[in-house]
């Protein structure tokens, strides 16, 4: 949906200190922004109309250059450490002042948007950018106000993004010239030194992750969909676990693919767009997402394009493997028009266990769900480095550790409480290896995984018999339509049972070692379900 024309808020940008900027382009439409981006040589149109932009040296997030101002709001509530690095208040103020001075006489693009499809819990966000295509990105990713709302738009938070402005580490206290700094007292995020559009998206996500828990709303790095009966399912999973593939089900309506909240009114999308990886994307494997790469309104970031024919090569990773496509959610045929759903009936936690020892599907109690939510486990396959021959475990708390400002157990306890309150089932689904670790066993057949997910969502698995896994303790169903019974028991798929026992014990030890950091902060009920083993 486009506005009838650019709408200028009565509340301008001068209060931020940007009174001396050149022209302010307020809430331009997609077509206007694309036209300006091309005229300003910010990128080019592809053969079928998508806008192609290159971000230069920085083709992904800069997690080591992300900071939070330490003040009365954040000092006791933030999980300070490697992810949430404190930043001095005075230095922040000086940095913002220098950014505003830098922007004197320069044009800016403003998009006034909402983050959060639930009107009761949305955040009014003003995104001010140096380039038109970043304003286009913001327009794709967040929700559009009505004309009346836009005319009287007062931002709850402002994001100021100036890629051509670099910090001085000695003067500003940053690590490099790149910076992403959030100040919850001034309700302001400043981004500089990088053109990677994902910094805008993830900054807003991090803000919501801080603001929503005290309201009883769980922010989630997840996808979500709705079945024909109105049942809502939430999918957690790190990269490579199948979150996008399994949640993109033609028989179910997509609420969103990446960021959601779960609160009193149910599940709601934080965004109004998608920011999908497009490397090696094909029409055969993912037709809906592939189709977006051939639409006007899509932004393709760091995708290779022939300068003469304007044809795209989605297999070429010369700039980065992290090629991205940004497009409105309504480009996906079965996307929800409201971005909202009711209370979830099922939670699917996805892992790709390259050790090959976790059950392909198991049911978790609220305490076990909290444990696995805090663990956020998956395993990478063996690398190409000489001498590396076995998988490596990856733990990312809450399946989104880099974006969680508060202490992890705050999110974990909220998840368990909401599950109990709404009688929500939780399933741990292993899309990784069966019959042995990577290099010995085989990746779980996608047909089996789909059958198990469908069984969980349609209620068939709830009627099955269950028995606890002897090592990991979660409950394994004895039958699932479309899946051979032996596949459900990981030990039975291994030819070498002793090797399975040793590998399972080793992975259990990794779980135990990782969870030690949380044990002082969780209840005895959660400690009781913690996985024990020998590393």
pLDDT at site 20: 86
Query: Which tens digits make up the pLDDT trace of 411-441?
Result: 999 999 999 999 999 999 999 999 999 999 9
pLDDT at site 14: 75
Percent residues over pLDDT 90 in the chain: 89
pLDDT at site 182: 98
Strand partners, 364: 426
| pLDDT, mean of residues 190-213 | 98
CA distances to 170, 260, 282 from 323, in Å: 33, 23, 14
pLDDT at site 382: 62
pLDDT at site 285: 83
Tell me: pLDDT of 125 over 70: yes
Tell me: pLDDT of 385 over 50: no
Per-residue burial over 61-100, b = 16 or more CB atoms within 10 Å of its CB, e = otherwise: bbeebbbbbbbeebeeebbeeebbbbbeeebbeebbebbb
Pairing label, strands 344-351, 425-430: parallel
Across the chain, which distance is largest between two alpha carbons, in Å? Answer: 72
Closest CA to 393 of 292, 500, 535, 287: 535
CA distances to 1, 54, 114, 179, 296 from 200, in Å: 22, 16, 13, 12, 22
Query: Which tens digits make up the pLDDT trace of 439-463?
Result: 999 999 999 999 999 999 999 998 8
Three state DSSP letters for 26-46:
ECCCHHHHHHHHHHCCCCEEC
Is there a common fold for 14-40+62-215 and 343-529? no
pTM exceeding 0.85: yes
pLDDT at site 383: 52
Q: Show me where the domains of the chain are located.
A: 14-40+62-215, 343-529
| pLDDT, mean of residues 299-306 | 98
pLDDT at site 286: 87
Tell me: pLDDT of 388 over 50: no
Percent residues over pLDDT 70 in the chain: 96
Q: Does domain 343-529 have CATH number 3.30.1330.80?
A: no
Closest CA to 326 of 280, 258, 267, 262: 258
Full strand arrangement of the beta sheet holding 273-277: 44-45, 51-53, 299-301, 324-328, 273-277
CATH architecture observed for domain 14-40+62-215:
3-Layer(aba) Sandwich (3.40)
Tell me: pLDDT of 1 over 60: no
Reported confidence tier of residue 6, pLDDT bands at 50, 70, 90: low
pLDDT at site 395: 95
Q: How far is CA 174 from the centre of its chain?
A: 25
Reported confidence tier of residue 3, pLDDT bands at 50, 70, 90: very low
Q: Which residues are catalytic?
A: 61, 202, 221, 239, 243-244, 258, 324
Residue 216 tokens read as 């009883």
Average pLDDT, whole number, for the chain? 94
| pLDDT, mean of residues 75-92 | 97
Three state DSSP letters for 362-406:
EEECHHHHHHHHHHCEEEECCCCCCCCCCCEEEECHHHCHHHCCC
| pLDDT, mean of residues 159-185 | 98
The single-letter DSSP state of residue 84 is B
- Main-chain dihedrals φ then ψ at residue 270, nearest 5 degrees: -75, -25
| pLDDT, mean of residues 254-267 | 96
């Amino acid at each position: 949906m486009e506005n009838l024309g650019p709408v200028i808020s009565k509340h301008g940008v001068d209060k931020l200190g940007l009174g001396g900027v050149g022209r302010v382009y307020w809430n331009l439409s997609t077509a206007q922004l694309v036209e300006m981006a091309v005229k300003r040589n910010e990128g080019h149109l592809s053969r079928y109309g998508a806008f192609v932009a290159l971000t230069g040296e920085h083709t992904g997030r800069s997690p080591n250059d992300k900071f939070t101002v330490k003040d009365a709001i954040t000092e006791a509530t933030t999980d300070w450490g490697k992810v949430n690095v404190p930043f001095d208040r005075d230095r922040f103020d000086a940095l913002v002042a220098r950014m505003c001075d830098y922007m004197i006489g320069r044009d800016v693009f403003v998009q006034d948007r909402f983050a959060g499809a639930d009107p009761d819990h949305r955040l009014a966000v003003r995104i001010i950018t140096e380039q038109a295509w970043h304003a286009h990105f913001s327009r794709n990713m967040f929700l559009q106000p009505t004309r009346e709302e836009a005319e009287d738009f007062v931002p709850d938070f402002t994001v100021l993004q100036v890629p051509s402005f670099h910090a001085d580490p000695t003067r500003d206290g940053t690590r490099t010239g790149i910076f992403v700094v959030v100040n919850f007292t001034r309700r302001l995020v400043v981004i500089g030194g990088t053109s990677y559009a994902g910094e805008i998206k993830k900054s807003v996500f991090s803000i919501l992750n801080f603001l929503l828990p005290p309201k009883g709303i769980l922010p989630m790095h997840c996808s979500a969909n709705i079945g024909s009966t109105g049942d809502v399912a939430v999918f957690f999973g790190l990269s490579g676990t199948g979150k996008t593939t399994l949640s993109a089900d033609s028989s179910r309506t997509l609420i969103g693919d990446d960021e959601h909240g779960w609160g009193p009114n149910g599940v709601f999308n934080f965004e109004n767009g998608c920011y999908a990886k497009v490397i090696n994307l094909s029409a055969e494997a993912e037709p809906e997402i592939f189709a977006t790469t051939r639409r006007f309104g899509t932004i393709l970031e760091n995708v290779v394009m022939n300068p003469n024919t304007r044809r795209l090569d989605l297999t070429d990773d010369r700039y980065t493997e992290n090629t991205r496509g940004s497009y409105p959610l309504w480009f996906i045929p079965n996307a929800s028009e409201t971005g909202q759903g009711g209370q979830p009936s099922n939670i699917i936690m996805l892992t790709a266990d390259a050790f090959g020892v976790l059950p392909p599907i198991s049911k978790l109690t609220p305490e076990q769900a909290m444990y696995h939510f805090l663990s956020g486990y998956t395993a990478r396959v063996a690398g190409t480095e000489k001498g590396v021959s076995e998988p490596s475990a990856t733990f990312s708390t809450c399946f989104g550790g880099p974006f969680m400002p508060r202490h992890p157990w705050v999110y974990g306890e909220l998840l368990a409480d909401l599950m109990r309150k709404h009688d929500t089932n939780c399933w741990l689904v292993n899309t990784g290896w069966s019959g042995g670790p990577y290099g010995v066993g085989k990746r779980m057949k996608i047909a089996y995984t789909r059958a198990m997910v469908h069984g969980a969502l349609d209620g068939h698995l709830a009627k099955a018999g269950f028995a606890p896994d002897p090592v990991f303790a979660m409950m394994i169903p004895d039958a699932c339509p479309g899946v051979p019974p032996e596949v459900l028991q990981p030990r039975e798929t291994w030819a070498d049972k002793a090797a399975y026992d040793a590998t399972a014990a080793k992975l259990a030890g990794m779980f135990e070692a990782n969870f030690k950091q949380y044990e002082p902060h969780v209840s005895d009920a959660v400690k009781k379900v913690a996985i024990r083993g020998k590393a």
